[in-house]
């Protein structure tokens, strides 16, 4: 079964999260994704409150930019939430948007090296290991969590370029692809991650989350095009979907055929009725998606 979710974008003020999380939880959607974009809303605060306000919907973090987060502190935060809300969060990390990392004074010379070291160290800490490592960026001296989670959670990572995709296949449990990824690019990225994962000796396939820019209702096509261009897309012809529930379901099916396990529907930044969008996905689109 294809997992469906929606994204709570950081263009929405934090105080709106409670109602959106409540609607997503009651509507039957499987996932609600939160973005830690600079310099909008912190991922730990939003994830913790969304988990506390809901009963069943899974909360995804897409993603923590690792240059901003000390690895020991990230492990402590994730472990605490995993113990309080076992299995209800989906954890994603990434090397961050380099311009933003520069603004925050956190830019590194080799973001891919940092990401690889970070995933290895974070996995070990969340598995309850005592970790000592002196990498290029990650340095830990006999660090172990007092309260590790009962089971180490799956770690996903965002990726776009081929080098990062290969690293994610090797190190992470799955990949998060942005809404700027066409179906064909998604297919290629998923194949690249899968090949790298197999070469690294992992028997299971990577878990794949794809964001799908989505608009429905009046002026949907125009709003979608404007939104994609605001995110940096220059050619929007093969990106996103604008239309009714069937059009959205068909777009989801194309991503699933390309290898997606979970599709996160991403409303436009100016979505006029976010609660209505959640209900549209749950009540109109979900029945059309196997």
pLDDT tens track of the chain, all 290 residues?
Answer: 899 999 999 999 999 999 999 999 999 999 999 999 999 999 999 999 999 999 999 999 999 999 999 999 999 999 999 999 999 999 999 999 999 999 999 999 999 999 999 999 999 999 999 999 999 999 999 999 999 999 999 999 999 999 999 999 999 999 999 999 999 999 999 999 999 999 999 999 999 999 999 999 999 999 999 999 999 898 898 999 999 999 999 999 999 999 999 999 999 999 999 999 999 999 999 999 98
Name the token pair of 269.
């930044």
* Within a domain: 98: no
- Please check whether residue 252 is in contact with residue 263, taking contact to mean a CB–CB distance below 8 angstroms: yes
Residue-level length of the chain = 290
* Within a domain: 220: yes
Instruction: Catalogue the long-range contacts made by 13-17 (C-beta closer than 8 Å, 24 or more residues apart).
Output: 14/41, 14/45, 14/46, 16/274, 17/46, 17/49, 17/50, 17/53
* Within a domain: 34: yes
Q: At 9, which CATH number? A: 3.20.20.30
**Domain of 190, in residue numbers:** 3-68+151-288
* Within a domain: 219: yes
* Within a domain: 174: yes
* Within a domain: 159: yes
pLDDT score of 1:
81
* Within a domain: 27: yes
Number of compact structural domains in the chain = 1
Question: Quick check: helix, strand or coil at residue 9?
Answer: coil
* Within a domain: 14: yes
pLDDT score of 62:
92
| Peptide linkage before 177 cis (omega within 30 of 0) | no
């Amino acid at each position: 079964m294809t997992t469906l979710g929606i994204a709570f974008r950081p263009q929405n003020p934090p105080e709106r999260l409670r109602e959106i999380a409540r609607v997503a939880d009651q509507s039957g959607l499987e996932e609600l994704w939160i973005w830690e974009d600079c310099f909008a809303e912190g991922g730990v605060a939003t994830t913790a409150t969304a988990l506390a306000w809901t009963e069943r919907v899974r909360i995804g973090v897409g993603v923590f930019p690792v240059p901003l987060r000390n690895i020991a502190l990230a492990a402590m935060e994730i472990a605490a939430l995993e113990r309080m809300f076992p299995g209800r969060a989906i954890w994603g990390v990434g090397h961050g948007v380099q311009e933003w990392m520069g603004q925050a004074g956190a830019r590194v010379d080799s973001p891919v090296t940092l990401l690889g070291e970070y995933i290895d160290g974070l996995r070990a800490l969340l598995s309850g290991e005592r970790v000592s490592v002196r990498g290029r960026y990650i340095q830990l001296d006999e660090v172990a969590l007092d309260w590790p989670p009962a089971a180490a959670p799956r770690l996903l990572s965002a990726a776009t370029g081929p080098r990062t995709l290969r690293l994610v296949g090797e190190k992470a449990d799955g990949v998060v692809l942005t809404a700027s990824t066409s179906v064909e690019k998604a297919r290629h990225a998923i194949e690249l991650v899968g090949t790298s994962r197999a070469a690294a000796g992992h028997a299971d396939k990577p878990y794949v989350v794809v964001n799908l820019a989505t608009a429905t209702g009046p002026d949907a096509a125009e709003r979608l095009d404007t939104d994609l261009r605001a995110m940096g897309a220059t050619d929007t012809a093969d990106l996103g979907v604008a239309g009714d529930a069937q059009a959205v379901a068909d777009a989801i099916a194309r991503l699933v055929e390309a290898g997606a396990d979970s599709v996160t529907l991403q409303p436009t930044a100016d979505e006029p009725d976010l609660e209505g969008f959640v209900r549209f996905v749950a009540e109109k689109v979900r029945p059309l998606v196997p």
